[in-house]
Amino acid sequence: MQKAFLNALYDLVENDTNVFLLSADNGTEFDKWFKSDFPQQYLEFGIAECNMVGAAAGMAACGKIPFVHTAGVFLAYRAYEFVRNDVCCQNLNVKIIGFGSGLSNSTLGPSHHSTEDISVLSSLPNLTILSPCCPSETEEAVKTAYRIKGPVYIRIGLCGEPEIAQDFSNFFTGENNTIISGTDVAVFSTGSIITEVLAAADLLKDNGVSAQVINVSMIKPFDIKSIVNTASAIKQMVTVEEHNIIGGLGSLIADVIVQERLNVKLLKIGLRDCFAKGYGTQQDLQKVNGLDRVGIFDTIIRQMKN
């Protein structure tokens, strides 16, 4: 997804000299390529994420369009005050790209797991939050962020996420997108864990359960209408996220259920008020924490039997 982000950004900087890439000692080949190709539109800040966000706010105030790019944990947590006060409070045109969403910074442990960023950032006024599920959707997210006049946060993966066989040209219109139609259970997901959700849907189908899979690519503003429409047809909802269930996608949908007085059941699958257990690859951590396809399938099946 990082490469997809860079591909989309290349197209933007070639056509708009106001677009800049700001990095914080990311140590990736992508940054080196960009610096070589567009030296006048690249700024390296070293390990100084707070200063980088503050500088981006100043650039935006002068008419530039800075894309701030580093690990999501350092943007959502370390630089939170600067995102809040310098960017969102001033409603400035800064694009914040946090890589390593969920557990994709796997082997570096909880200090690098971005499993609370939705909760932390979604309460900030003026901030649009995009959560693409694959490389193609990442490219569309970058183009959408460019068109939006104001602060945008995009959370992307890091581990060579596979493509999803969908047309993303019309995504990020403010509506959730149904990937698979179903009648027994509606499964809402966000981010790259969609691949495990789709595999779990196949397992459910093999066991006689028809699962509708909905990709939530825009966290804020949130598509309330699709939740209401889905609830009119399917009475069992499930949210799956590589994120704490407190303040994440599950909480957003729970709010809608209460506010709209929907007669549905909701099952939240994610990190249950804890940091991720175990150590290893992203797939290892998904398995240990019940977020792989088998774990998702087992949890939904247990719920359906109650």
Written as one letter, the residue type at 39 is P
CA-angle at 36, arms to 34 and 37, nearest 5° = 65
Pairing of strands 128-130, 218-220: antiparallel
Helical packing angle, 194-206 and 293-305, nearest 10°: 50
**Mean pLDDT value across residues 251-259:** 97
Which pairing describes strands 265-271 and 236-244: parallel, antiparallel, or unpaired? parallel
The one-letter code for the residue type at 194 is: I
118-127 average pLDDT score: 97
CA dihedral 203, 205, 206, 208 (to 10 degrees): 130
- CA quadruple 273, 278, 280, 281: dihedral sign: negative
83 — phi, psi (to 5°)? -65, -45
Q: Give the model's confidence band at 28: pLDDT under 50 very low, under 70 low, under 90 confident, else very high.
A: confident
Q: Please state the rounded mean pLDDT for residues 271-276.
A: 96
- Residue 31 is predicted with a pLDDT of 80
Q: Is the pLDDT of residue 98 over 70?
A: yes
Helix (H, G, I), strand (E, B) or coil at 177: strand
Per-residue pLDDT at 26 = 83
Closest alpha carbon to 119 in 283, 273, 292: 273
DSSP state of 93: -
What the chain holds in terms of domains, given with CATH numbers, is 2-156 (3.40.50.970), 177-305 (3.40.50.920)
Q: Check if the beta carbon of residue 111 is closer than 8 Å to that of residue 201.
A: no
pLDDT digits (tens, 9 = 90+) for 36-86: 999 999 999 999 999 999 999 999 999 999 999 999 999 999 999 999 999
Answer yes or no: are the C-beta atoms of 149 and 17 closer than 8 Å. Answer: no
Q: Which residue has the tokens 């789709």?
A: 198
